[in-house]
Amino acid sequence: MNNKSKKTIKLLSTVVLGMFVFSFALVPLYNVFCEVTGLNGKIELKATTEKGLENQDGRDISIQFISHNNEEMPWIFKPSEDKIKIKTGKYHTATFYVRNTTSKRMVAQAIPSVAPSNAATHLKKLECFCFEQQELAPGEEALLPVKLLFDNDLPKSIKNIVLSYTIFDVTNYKDAEMSQHQNSIDYQEDHVMETSI
């Protein structure tokens, strides 16, 4: 095989490798793209650090809260108020009622979404229960707060906003990891015992 062929092969292999890496790079690219543009109604899961958002010359908008339980998530999860009227440029605190109806300790994660999606970039949250996982004992209940603001740049055409939260059962994720860990420890202990005998 001549040198020219070797060069072509090297080049093509680099392309292959590069495209494989690119497929993984699509993940952060997609998230950044969604966050920057607010497409998909995706909201950043962290508190805003922007200052000076509050002012008095806001306009009236209404916000509708929706809650969903993912799959067979058994908790009761619902907004305290279905619909509120607020002004842009003013923080407002809303709450969601949640109760663990099971007899097990469970961990949940809420994921927010905004419709229409072009309102997403104008939504700023100082605090939100969706920033962290919620762990509730059997029968325990709680009021989960979200402190939010829509900035004044919210497009004029938007008068009603739907803010939806889906609650996911993430208990098993923790359990699976822990039991796997436990198994490997058990195995090691057994193994040690065998050899000592």
Partner 1 sequence: MSAVIESHEQDHHHGPPKGITRWLFTTNHKDIGTLYLWLSFAMFLIGGAMALVIRAELFAPGMQIVEPEFYNQMLTLHGLIMVFGAVMPAFVGLANWQVPMQVGAPDMALPRMNNLSFWILPFAFIVLLSSLFMEGGAPNFGWTFYAPLSTTYAPPSVTFFIFSIHIMGASSIMGSINVIVTIMNMRAPGMTLMKMPLFVWSWLITAYLLIAVMPVLAGAVTMMLMDIHFGTSFFNAAGGGDPVLFQHIFWFFGHPEVYIMILPAFGITSHIIETFSRKQLFGYTSMVWAMTSIAILSFVVWAHHMFTVGMPLAAELFFMWATMLIAVPTGVKVFNWITTMFKGSISYETPMLFAIAFVVLFTIGGFSGLMLAITPADFQYHDTYFVVAHFHYVLVPGSIFAIMAGVYFWIPKWTGNMYDERLGRLHFWLSFISVNITFFPQHWVGLAGMPRRYPDYALQFADWNMVSTVGAFMFGASQILFLFIVLKTLMGGKKATAEVWESSRGLEWTLESPPPYHTFTTPPKVN
From 1-9, 55-63, 83-91, 146-154, span contacting partner 1 (CB under 8 A): 1-9
Is 100 a binding residue for partner 1 by CB under 8 A? The answer is: no
Task: Name beta bridge partners: 125.
Answer: 148
Phi-psi category of residue 158: left, alpha or beta, with phi > 0 → left and psi -120 to 50 → alpha: beta
Is 126 a binding residue for partner 1 by CB under 8 A? The answer is: no
Is 27 a binding residue for partner 1 by CB under 8 A? The answer is: yes
* Contact (Cβ atoms closer than 8 angstroms) between residue 72 and residue 101: no
Which residue lies nearer to partner 1 by CB, 46 or 104?
46
The binder of partner 1 chosen from 67, 88, 134, 166 (CB under 8 A): 166
* DSSP state string for 132-163: S-EEE-TT-EEEEEEEEEE-TTS-TT--EEEE
Is 12 a binding residue for partner 1 by CB under 8 A? The answer is: yes
Place of tokens 């062929």: 5
Which residue lies nearer to partner 1 by CB, 104 or 174?
174
The closest alpha carbon to 103, from 139, 142, 73, belongs to 139
Q: What is the DSSP letter of 72?
A: T
* Contact (Cβ atoms closer than 8 angstroms) between residue 61 and residue 159: yes
Which residue lies nearer to partner 1 by CB, 173 or 187?
173
Residues that bind partner 1 (CB under 8 A): 1-2, 4-5, 8-9, 12-13, 15-20, 22-24, 26-27, 30-31, 34, 37, 39-42, 45, 70, 109, 111, 117-118, 166, 168-170, 173, 176-177
